Amino acid sequence: MSFGRATSVHSSDGRTWTGAIEPDWDIFENANGGYMMAIAARAMSGAADDRLPVSVTAHFTRPGKAGPVSIATEVVRAGRTFSTVRADLSSEAGVVLAMLGTFAEAGRSPGDTLLVDSEIPDVPPPDDCVPALPAVDGPLPPPLMGKVEERIHPDDAGALLGKPTGRPRMRGWIRLRDGEAMTPFVLLLVADAFPPAIFNTFLPLAWTPTLEMTTHIRATQVEGWLRCQFTTRFISGGYLEEDGEIWDESGRLVAQSRQIALIPR
């Protein structure tokens, strides 16, 4: 099932939406957080006259399991250019994620690149990277890897091979399978679809419960391979963050992300 279908939502009143967490978008049997954010964001966008996501935050309250979900949306404010929208995505068990987002008029000009005080992440071409494929048996790599085409930088692929590099970093390429066209909503998935950067540390390869994730989206269209970099700089005070950058093939930053998670045991 395509990403587009697996994130589709329906509503009769423009406020309450129905959809489903489809199977095989999971890791350790919990649905991928970015995938669930994309489902909810599509409902939020629908509630906001199809405005497009600029900044979307999710707080995770329960693991998501495959099955039907409902998304209750509320437009906090609809301005001339931006709408602020909140949503709860709920399963039978209760609220799975609470969301808050700002959405922009689709026709808004994306704007030029005025200043970049950063380097494009250094990643060899996709064919020189290590493909991440779902495990034939066992939990890792997760079933989600069957839904996207993902190539990991050889220098960061130690995590996949049982030989962590010691440096919490994960770089690589990603795109949807079968040449599926990509909407900005896919960036919410992409920001959460790589192996955690901390898999390259001494920490156990275990479920890393994310408390909160925010993704900023600067593109209204995306295509081709997306060049990604994820880093964790601080494992301290009980928490760890992961920062993501997503670039397109033309060398344009299309999204940034940050999540805060509990340290896995």
Among 118, 125, 136, 162, binds its own copies (CB under 8 A): 118
Q: Which of 106, 39, 105 is nearest to 73 (CA)?
A: 39
Q: Which amino acid is at 129?
A: C
Binds its own copies by CB under 8 A, chosen from 116, 133, 135, 181: 116
Decide: is 62 part of the binding site for its own copies (CB under 8 A): yes
Q: Which of 8, 11, 18, 61 binds its own copies (CB under 8 A)?
A: 61
Q: How far is CA 194 from the centre of its chain?
A: 9
Decide whether 115 or 136 has the Cβ nearer to its own copies.
115
Tokens of 226: 């997306």
Q: Which of 59, 124, 131, 264 binds its own copies (CB under 8 A)?
A: 59
Among the residue ranges 28-36, 40-48, 105-113, 175-183, the one whose residues contact its own copies (CB under 8 A): 105-113
* By the rule CB under 8 A, 224 interacts with its own copies: no
Nearest by Cα to 111 from 85, 81, 78: 81
Name which position in 77, 136, 162, 178 contacts its own copies (CB under 8 A).
Answer: 77
Stretch that binds its own copies, among 37-45, 77-85, 172-180, 181-189 (CB under 8 A): 77-85
Q: Which of 1, 76, 133, 206 binds its own copies (CB under 8 A)?
A: 76
The answer to whether residues 103 and 82 touch, using CB atoms and an 8 Å cutoff, is yes
Strands 253-262, 130-131: pairing kind = unpaired
Binding status of residue 201 toward its own copies by CB under 8 A: yes
Locus of tokens 């964790």: 232
Strands of 239-247's sheet, edge to edge? 16-21, 67-78, 82-91, 94-104, 52-60, 210-217, 253-262, 239-247, 226-231, 169-176, 148-152, 130-131
Considering only 49, 50, 108, 146, the residue that binds its own copies (CB under 8 A) is: 108
Residue 115 carries which side chain, given as an amino acid letter?
Answer: L
Q: H or E element: which one contains 226?
A: strand 226-231
Residues 130-169 close enough to bind its own copies by CB under 8 A: 167-168
For its own copies, the binding residues (CB under 8 A) are 54-55, 57, 59, 61-62, 76-77, 79, 82, 84, 86, 88, 94-95, 98-102, 108-118, 167-168, 201, 203, 211-212, 214, 216, 218-219, 231-239, 241, 252-254, 256, 258, 260, 263
